[in-house]
Amino acid sequence: MTISKHSKIYVAGHRGLVGSAIWNNLLQRGYTNLVGRSHKELDLTDQLAVRKFFDDEQPEAVVLAAAFVGGIMANSLYRADFIMMNMKIQCNVISEAYAHHVKKLLFLGSTCIYPKNAPQPMKEDCLLTSPLEYTNEEYAIAKIAGLKMCESYNLQYGTNYIAVMPTNLYGPNDNFHLENSHVMPAMMRKVYLAKLINDHNWQAIRHDMDRRPVEGISGTASEADILNVLAKYGIYDNKVVLWGTGTPLREFLWSEDMADASVHVLLNVNFSDIIGIEKYSSVHYGASVDGAVDRNHSVGRGGAIPKLGEIRNCHINVGTGKELTIRELSKLVVKAVDFKGTVEFDTSKPDGTPRKLIDVEKLHSLGWTHKVEIEDGVKKLFEWYREN
- Given 10, 98, 139, 161, which residue is catalytic? 139
Is 139 tagged catalytic? yes
Distances (CA, A) of 254 to 17, 96, 281, 327: 10, 31, 36, 19
Q: What's the chain's Rg over C-alpha atoms?
A: 22
Distances (CA, A) of 114 to 246, 264, 285: 21, 24, 33
Torsion of CA 355, 359, 363, 366, to 10 degrees: 180
Whether 249 and 356 have beta carbons less than 8 Å apart is answered as yes
Active site residues: 139
